[in-house]
Amino acid sequence: MTLNMMTRKKTITLLAKAALACCLGTALLPASAQPGTPAATFPTRAVKFIVPFPPGGAIDALARLLGQHLSVMWKQPVVVENRPGAGGIIGTEQLAKSAPDGYTIGMGAASTHGFNAALYKKLPYDTLGDFAPVAPSAMVPNVLVTNASVPVQNVQGLIAMARAQPGKLSYASAGGGTTLHLSCELFKKLADVDIMHVPYKGSGPALADVMGGQVPVMCDSLTSALPHIRSGKLKALGVTSRTRSPLLPNVPTLAEAGVKGYELTPWYGVFAPAGTPPQVVAQMNADIQKVLKLPEVKERLTTIGAEAMLDTPEGFAAMVRKDLHKWGGLIKEMGITVD
């Protein structure tokens, strides 16, 4: 064998060993690090789910229902964190200032992303610019209720009582700027009555005081009020939606009960901080829609008087913009402020 042949053979052997080492090294890399493969599937760790209101209300119930099923789907914990205060502003601000990586999401509502921009002179976040709408979740009507001891049986009876003692009757809400606050304010305007607003830090404590007799009237979400209506602790006078609730078929809408032009159906949905990668938003939207289509979730929503909402991130964003314009004009027309 000549020297050139020996050199050529050695070179081929070294090249073969180098190629084998390279292949073995690549095979040992995680899938997310291999050339030409996508990054690891989202999520790879726990996701924080901010609820800007206390436990006990419709928005909290929906967040926990979604979180429970997303946790199973994602095989990662979804930790619901209640951050109440200032009509949902505190928790919503925290969401806006969170890292836009998909690992912090939050529940929003018609109040946090529709009413507050018109109710407050200055917010610590931009309602449209600081958030990435992910997916709507559900619509839940509110219901006008009274303590069981209040001597009225219907909406017209409450209107007569309020007109007989202007400014002396009071109603509770989950806080200024919430859908519960606006529901009663719209009732006051359209029914032409003077009822004093008593804001609380959430639906739960407000509802407790209404049942305890400290405050006689409230517009509460059907989700949280329904068990107490059925137990007789509360009297349901009218629902705020366009049509009656199948869970309270004998309770009229406020429009049916004589409050002409009344309609307010609160919505709830999931938001992420602005700048969250579009592919992560798209995946979360698809997964939330899968959860909302589950038979057990649909059944649960029906039992709490909620109706699932399915839409793309773009469709949800358009709905938020439309609501912001609609309620901004109406709130200014009614002259309502909370500052």
Q: Are 108 and 269 in contact, with CB atoms under 8 Å apart?
A: yes
For the stretch 247-267, pLDDT in tens is 999 999 999 999 999 999 889
Q: Has residue 176 got a pLDDT over 50?
A: yes
* Most trustworthy range by pLDDT among 21-30, 81-90, 176-185: 81-90
Q: Has residue 335 got a pLDDT over 90?
A: no
* Least reliable range by pLDDT among 31-40, 213-222, 238-247, 276-285: 31-40
% pLDDT > 70, the chain:
88
Residue 339: band (very low, low, confident or very high) from pLDDT cuts 50, 70, 90: low
- What is the rounded average pLDDT for all residues in the chain? 87
Q: Are 141 and 240 in contact, with CB atoms under 8 Å apart?
A: yes
| Cα 29 → chain centroid | 40
The predicted structure's pLDDT at residue 276: 98
Q: Has residue 70 got a pLDDT over 90?
A: yes
The predicted structure's pLDDT at residue 336: 77
% pLDDT > 90, the chain:
67
Q: How far apart are CA 223 and CA 327, in angstroms?
A: 23
The predicted structure's pLDDT at residue 42: 92
The predicted structure's pLDDT at residue 40: 54
Q: Are 313 and 281 in contact, with CB atoms under 8 Å apart?
A: yes
**What is the pLDDT averaged over residues 40-50?**
92
The predicted structure's pLDDT at residue 330: 79
Q: Has residue 310 got a pLDDT over 60?
A: yes
Q: How far apart are CA 339 and CA 336, in angstroms?
A: 10
- Judged by phi (left if over 0) then psi (alpha if -120 to 50, else beta), residue 27 lies in alpha
| 13 vs 158, higher pLDDT | 158
For the stretch 106-140, pLDDT in tens is 999 998 998 888 888 889 999 999 999 999 999 98
**What is the pLDDT averaged over residues 258-287?**
96
For the stretch 140-164, pLDDT in tens is 899 999 999 999 999 999 999 999 9
**What is the pLDDT averaged over residues 231-259?**
95
